[in-house]
Amino acid sequence: MVKNRMTKIVVTIALAAGLSAGGVARADKWSEKYPIKEDVPGPASYEATSKKDYKGRTLTILTHAIPVMGEPTALHAKQFEKLTGAKVKVVHVPFGDLFQKAMIPFQTGQAAYDVMFYGSLWIGDFHNYLAPVPGEYIGMPQMQEVTRNYKDVATWEGRMIQFPVDGDRHYLKYRSDVINNPELRAKYKEKTGKELRVPQTWKEYAEMGRFFNNWDWDGDGEKNYGSAEVVARDNLMFSAIISRVAPYAKHPDVKGGFFFDLETMEPLVNTPGWVEGVKDFVEAQNYMPPGGNNFGLGDEIFSFGGGQTLFSYSWDDAFVQAMEPKSRIRNLVGAAPLPGAHKVWNRKTGKWDKFDTPNRAPYICWGWTSAVIKASKNKDMAFDYLAFFANPANHASDLLVGRFGVNPYRTTDFDPKFYIKEAGWAPDVAKTYCATLSGMDKSQNRVFDLRVPGVNQYMSSLAAGVSKALAKQLTPQQAMDEVAVEWKQITKRLGKDRVRKAYANVVALEDNLKR
């Protein structure tokens, strides 16, 4: 009896000890001190970083204002300080000032910062001032997980000079509770004779947008609208128009340029493919919420994310906003590739080509990236900071905080189970999200940003022209003709050969050429 009791006690103690030990193994010492689930072994892990000694040295970082990218920069800077003894100074700047804050020290030969976080489309302007990512960092396991699109985005003339910390793209977001609603499907069919489904083309998008505009289709007592888009002239509208134009102007069989003809460097922005996209954009004003043609990115996020519209397309933010825990449309949204087009302009033949299956041209839109400055005297520490920032433990944690602006860009990010388990997403939502995002990596007809010197001049001119068309100051054709004239002048000023050399990098990515 006593022996039995003793055996039970011993077994209980052993079980308790075992469970306790197991518990410690799951929640390691780093996850107790830092907001991560667990440290993941690797060269930039918490464990490995804690063995670096940067006492007495200062790292200066230029980044965006809090929260988007600014908050994770500051958070990981503090952690890096604690782990390595370094002093990390973080300079936060609003997006509108970020380019000049970086460019002025570059042009005046000062090493004002060691690390920069900025928009990846500026690689054409910054590449001469950035340090290539050393082989030991490119070889890290965490870097092996970065997908093709984002390695491409980080690369200039065959060398990785930007350190991937984020993945961006434009894709379609829709209200799944409307698109999958049998009553609304029947109503749509009855009124239009067409099927209500995730729009396959921009024309379909417009038809549905018009139908679901200006009435309360979700029964909350407030009117709903068709589409929320980024339309404000100097508030990232240039990216929205690229999404609109891409399937009309990016012909899968015509190589050699989307923005320019690489051979002649003649702008293509006033060709019929581009103009068709602009016409759609102008027409879309009829199914936007009131004031929607002055929406910037923030308005678009809160309009779709707040349940006001049926559709939206641009970066991840509106989707993330819709999926916030307290959102009233949480799990009532879906993700899909950007709509395509049944006709595509063939600039070689000068004719429209018909496509039975809509042509798709995924826009691998610019997003946040980072780099170490060539003139920095702390390159070792700077690359260690970036590797630590993007280590698997931090990355998994950052992905779950919507306001951080860190979006999927690694193979491991496209597993629906992660979002279902860690973020509480409904399986269907997680599946459409992961399928849409990972599907873009497989495309052979991708569109990238105009990553050439002076990109801001080209994009500012594009936005001004499109804005004139939107305001009906000019017709779409007149507006784009004006943009083309200005693009020629910009190219002439910046130097045709210089721009062509840089643009060849973009064309190589779009035409899937090895360089």
Partner 1 sequence: MIESRHKYLFLFPALFTLIAIIIFPLVYTFRLSFSSWDVVQPTLDFIGFDNYVRVFNDMRFWESLATLGTVVLSVVSIEYIIGFALALLLWQDIERNRFFRVLFIIPMMATPVIISVVWRTMFHESLGPINDLLTMAHLPTVPWLSKPTSALIAVIIVDIWQWTSFIFILLLAGLLSLPHEPYEAAAMDGANRFQTFWHVTFPMMAPITIGILIIRIIEASKIMETVYVLTSGGPGTSTETSAYYIFIRSLREFQIGYSAAMSIVYLLLMILALMLIAKGLTRGLVSKGG
Name the site residues for partner 1 (rule: CB under 8 A).
Answer: 96-97, 99-100, 103, 107-108, 125, 232-235, 289-294, 296, 299, 308, 453-454, 456-457, 460, 464, 467-468, 470-473, 493-495, 498
Shorter beta-carbon distance to partner 1: residue 445 or 505:
505
C-alpha dihedral sign at 452, 457, 463, 469: negative
Which burial class, exposed, middle or buried, applies to 394 when counting CB atoms under 10 A from its CB (0-12, 13-18, 19+)?
A: buried
Q: What is the smallest separation between the CB atom of 110 and partner 1, expressed in angstroms?
A: 12
Return the DSSP state at 131.
P
Shorter beta-carbon distance to partner 1: residue 337 or 465:
465
Q: What is the smallest separation between the CB atom of 469 and partner 1, expressed in angstroms?
A: 8
CA-wise closest residue to 312 among 214, 182, 225, 430: 225
Strands 87-93 and 351-359: unpaired
Cα–Cα distance between 65 and 71 in angstroms, integer?
Answer: 8
Amino acid identity, position 469: A
Shorter beta-carbon distance to partner 1: residue 99 or 352:
99
Q: Which residues contact 502 (CB under 8 A, 6 or more apart)?
A: 124, 451, 452, 453
Q: What is the smallest separation between the CB atom of 270 and partner 1, expressed in angstroms?
A: 18
Shorter beta-carbon distance to partner 1: residue 10 or 471:
471
Give yes or no for a contact between 160 and 132, defined as CB atoms under 8 angstroms apart: yes
Shorter beta-carbon distance to partner 1: residue 98 or 393:
98
Q: What is the smallest separation between the CB atom of 157 and partner 1, expressed in angstroms?
A: 16
Shorter beta-carbon distance to partner 1: residue 44 or 452:
452
Element (H, E) at 106: helix 95-107
Amino acid identity, position 135: G
Q: What is the smallest separation between the CB atom of 432 and partner 1, expressed in angstroms?
A: 28
Q: What is the smallest separation between the CB atom of 306 and partner 1, expressed in angstroms?
A: 9
Shorter beta-carbon distance to partner 1: residue 196 or 269:
269
Cα–Cα distance between 168 and 149 in angstroms, integer?
Answer: 9
Angle at 163 between CA 157 and CA 168, to 5 degrees: 90
> Phi/psi at 172 (nearest 5 deg)?
-85, 135
Q: What is the smallest separation between the CB atom of 70 and partner 1, expressed in angstroms?
A: 18
